[in-house]
Amino acid sequence: MNNKLLKVTLLVAIFATTQATALIAQESATAASEPAFIYTSGAVMEVGDTVMIHEDSLRYLTGERMSKWVYGVPHLVRQLGTQTKPTGVLLRGIYSWIAQGSLIPMNANKTQEYMDAQRAAAEAARLAAEEAARLAAEEAARLAAEEAARLAAAEVVEEEVEQVQDTLPPAPQPFQINRFSIGVRGGLASLLHKAEPALGATWGYDALLDLQYAHYWAKADDKVRLGLLTGVSVGFMQNKKTLQDLKEQSTLHSEGDILYNVTMDKVMTTNSQLQLEVPVMFSMVTPKGFFLNVGPKFILPVYTPYAQTITDAHISATLLDMSADNNQVVIKDNVVMGKLDMDPKDNTYSHKGMNNHQFDLTIAVGGELGYEHQLESGHSVSIGLYANYGVFSTYKHFSNNPLDHNILLITPPNADAVASVVPNSMNNAYVNKLGYLDAGLKVAFHLNWKK
C-alpha cells in the first residue's frame, strides 16, 4: 500500500513539472517563430516604418555604392523581401535593395531603449511564469501528497472495517424448518358417557402412535419458531362402566300380555375402541427448547368392541291374561318364559359384542406442552404432556323403541318357540351422547431439515 502511494505522488509531481516546462518551451517557440525582418534593436520591421540608413553601410545588396544624400534623412519602408532578395528591404525613393541590418528605426516604439524595456518586461514575465509554474508544481505535489495520504488513510480504514467485519458473526438469515416426528403417548382416557341413569366418569387409559409433519418459519436460530403441525395418529383407548341394582321392566304381547321384570345385581362393561386422529395444530418452539402445540383434532373410532358381565340376573314373567281376580301367574327364570345361562361358579353372565358408535366423528381441542432437546446431528427428542377434550360428537342414540334401551332384550314365547334373551351393551342401551377426554405423557423423536 505504501509503494502505491509513493508512485502516485511521484507521478503527480512529474506531471506538474512537465506542465511548467511545456509553458516555458511554448513561449520560446513563439519567440523563435517571429518574422525574420527585425532591426538590430530586436524590433520587428514592417512596411511603412520610418528608418534611416546607418552611416557604416556603404553598398546596396546589388553591390553599387550608396550616394551620400541617402544618409541622415528619413526613409519609408516600401517592401520587405522578394524572391531574388529574400532578406532585402526596399525604401521609397531608392530603388535598390538594402540589407535590413543597415537600417535604424525612427519609430519610438522600435528604438533600442524601448526594446530594452520590452525585453526587461518579457524577462520579468518569463521569470514570473517560471515561478508560477514552480509554485503550481509544488502545490500540485502537495495536493497529490495529501490525496495519497487520504487514500492511504481510507484504505487503512477499509482494511480495519473488513477485519472487524470478519470477526463479527454473520447476520441472521431467515430460514424454514421441515420436521417429521415419530412419537408415542399414553395416559388416562374416558368417553364421558351421558346417560340415564348416570354412569359416572369412570377413567380408563389410552395409548397411541403419532406420525406427524410440521413446517416452521424462523428469522434466526435465536428466535421463536412458529409453524403448523398435522399428521395421523393410530391408537387404542379403553374405559369401564359399572351399574348396580339395576331394574328393567317391559310389557310384551305374544298370545296375551306378558309383563317382564328384570333385576341385575351389577353390570360391568369394558368399552374399547381403535381410533384414528388427525391434528391440525399451531406449533411454537422457543430457542431454549420449550414447545407448545394447540389446535383441533379429528378423532374417528373405527373398531368399538365391548366386553360385559352381568351378575345375579333374574327374569320374572307375569302372565296378565291368565290372571283372574288378581291371582296373577308369575314364572321366574324359566327357559320357556325367559332365562340367562349363568355361570354356576360366580352366578355371572359374560358376553362380548360391538358398540354402535364406530365411524362417529369427534372433534376435540388438543394441546401439547413440553421440552425439546437438540442433538448434534440437528435432530431432536422431546418429552411433554398432552390433553384432548371433545367439544363435538356425531354420536346420538335416537331409537324410538323402548326395548332398545334395555340391557336384556327379550323376545316373548309363541306357539312355535320359547322366549329368547339377547344381552345388549350398556353403551347401546343407556348412553345418549358420547364425549372424549384424555391426558398423559408423550415422548417423540424429530427429524429436522432446513430449507
Q: Which cell goes with 227?
A: 409453524
Q: Are strands 408-411 and 380-393 parallel, antiparallel or unpaired?
A: unpaired
Q: What is the mean pLDDT of the chain?
A: 85
Position 373 scores a pLDDT of 94
pLDDT of residue 115: 72
**Nearest Cα to Cα of residue 373 among 428, 306, 309, 446:** 446
C-alpha cell at 115: 526594446
Is the Cβ–Cβ distance between 438 and 190 less than 8 Å? yes
- What is the reported pLDDT for 26? 52
pTM of the shown model: 0.61
Give CA angle at 73 (69, 76), nearest 5°.
110
pLDDT at 42: 77
Question: Percent of the chain at pLDDT above 90?
Answer: 43
234-265 pLDDT, tens digit each: 999 998 888 889 899 888 876 668 899 999 99
Asked which of 85-99, 175-189, 250-264 is least confident by mean pLDDT, the reply is 250-264
Mean of pLDDT values over 48-68: 89
Distance CA 424, CA 401 (A): 14
49 DSSP assignment: -
Provide the pLDDT confidence category of residue 201 given band limits of 50, 70 and 90: low
pLDDT tens-digit series, residues 284-334: 999 999 999 999 999 999 999 999 999 999 999 988 766 555 567 889 999
Per-residue pLDDT band for 351 (boundaries 50, 70, 90) equals: very high
| Confidence at 54, pLDDT banded by 50, 70, 90 | confident
Does 330 or 383 have the greater pLDDT score? 383
- pLDDT given for residue 302 in this prediction: 96
Report whether 146 contacts 85 (CB < 8 A): no
- Mean pLDDT, to the nearest integer, of 199-228? 87
Residue 182: its pLDDT value, please? Answer: 97
pLDDT of residue 264: 95
Nearest Cα to 291, choosing from 201, 227, 337, 239? 227
Query: Is the pLDDT confidence value at 29 over 50?
Result: no
Q: How far apart are CA 373 and CA 383, in angstroms?
A: 9
Contacts of 102 (CB under 8 A, 6+ apart): 53, 54, 56, 57
The yes-or-no verdict on residue 176 having pLDDT over 50 is yes
